[in-house]
Amino acid sequence: MRRLIVEADGGSRGNPGPAGYGAVVLDAATGETLAERAEYIGVATNNVAEYKGLIAGLKAALELTTDLANVSVLVRMDSKLVVEQMSGRWKIKHPDMKPLAAEAGRILPAGRVRYEWIPREQNKHADRLANEAMDAGKRGEQWRPADSTAAFDAAAARNAAALPPAPAGPPGDAAAGAAKARAALVRSGAGGDFEAAAGGAQFAVRHGGTTAPAPAQGWSGGPDMGAPATFVLLRHGETALTPEKRFSGSGGNDPELSAVGLRQADAVAEALAARGTIQEIVSSPLKRCRQTAEAVGARLGLDVRVEEGLRETDFGAWEGLTFGEVRERYPDDLDAWLASPKAEPTGGGESFATVARRVTATRDRLAAAYAGRTVLLVSHVTPIKTLIRLALGAPPESLFRMELSAASLSAVAYYADGNASVRLFNDTGHLRG
């Protein structure tokens, strides 16, 4: 018996308004994407678009079937209306729905299809396809498979969810790596808001684990942990201090974005709007982050929530100084800071250990509040690097091994079982257009 899963969705921006649908056919045994369908359908209601998505998904499943007597199809949708009507539990009263339901019912033999309602968070592949179709329609185009990223994103999520947590290793010895940390720090910047430019790198890794096959879906699937809370991590745009590689934390002046930084904020806002996945925006209280977050919020039509826990490290007496100036004025304090995450900058600043505790508490609070949602966190070098470090299970000295550019994007997903999946790190592609 061949078992297929059809996931379908539709949407209308206005209801009725510009509408589109998306559908994906998956192999129930492996989770492999077998077919995708999406189309902009002009002005329609949500329900019409959802039915159109169902029809497209069932037709795609039919095209993959050579023996109708030996196939079983599970349709999963977040439309309670479509699921209940197609299951025969609700009457179909609306005249626009009756012919669509009848068409869907004729595609595959009776008894070969069953329907299951799922939360919207579990239907993101089809939802992404529908939004891609509507975006294409807004440009006066039709959706093209070559332009879609829905399958890639869904596969990355499934692969990440499949990986078991890695066994805990011995704690890192920061003191032993102090000399190497100094060299890395000089090359690429420190834990504060100053970094050399770097390209992006995308990868999926879970607590230091290795790759694993996608989890089984449908009838043979494993335990469902639900959709993760996904944090898209945006470092703010440049300030006047950024190109000079000066310590810029939360204990000194609160600089604004420079002209370059404002252009970077606009560029990342445009890129995130095109992506269409951000549902909430949370920002550090510092001005450079709020300006960056507000540029994105204005473009996406979202309000910005301020979160104190996302602020940058307090660098004490080092605020506004370059690394060389700190080395000249406070050599012993700098050596201690490079050697131990518990050491504080001169003048009562925050240690990396203190920042890690603050960021961990903030992460846990936000992950619980935004389970199943994609949230943009606009923050600084140290908090973002700390989130990445913790997700990877890396030692504190790894902070000195990461390059994080102004206005760069990173991403981490947090699952209900406590594991994390790093999806993206230091992506600056949107700044090169």
Q: Annotated active-site positions, please?
A: 236, 312
Q: Which residues pair with 203 in a beta bridge?
A: none
Residues 6+ apart with CB under 8 A from 166: 206, 207, 208, 209, 393
Distance in angstroms (rounded) separating the CA atoms of residues 105 and 117: 17
Tell me the two tokens of residue 416.
């209900």
Distance in angstroms (rounded) separating the CA atoms of residues 194 and 243: 7
Q: In the 8-state DSSP scheme, what is residue 243?
A: T
Distance in angstroms (rounded) separating the CA atoms of residues 101 and 293: 44
Q: How many CB atoms lie within 10 A of CB 72?
A: 17
- CA atoms within 13 A of residue 210's CA, in its CB half-sphere: 0
Q: Would you call 73 helix, strand, or coil by DSSP?
A: strand
Task: Give 188: exposed, middle or buried? Use CB within 10 Å, 0-12, 13-18, 19+.
Answer: middle
| Residues 255 and 243 sit within 8 Å (Cβ to Cβ) | no
Beta-strand ranges (E) seen in 206-326 are 229-235, 280-283, 304-306
- Exposed e or buried b per residue across 290-320, where buried means at least 16 C-beta atoms within 10 angstroms of its C-beta: bbbbbbbbebbebebeebebbbbbbbbbbbb
What Å distances lie between residue 25 and 63, 259, 428, CA to CA? 11, 47, 33
| Residues 264 and 407 sit within 8 Å (Cβ to Cβ) | yes
Torsion sign over Cα 182, 185, 190, 194 = positive
- Write down the residue that tokens 């959706």 correspond to: 143
Nearest to 316 by CA among 284, 342, 350: 350
Identity at 184, one-letter amino acid code:
A
Q: Which residues pair with 413 in a beta bridge?
A: 230, 421
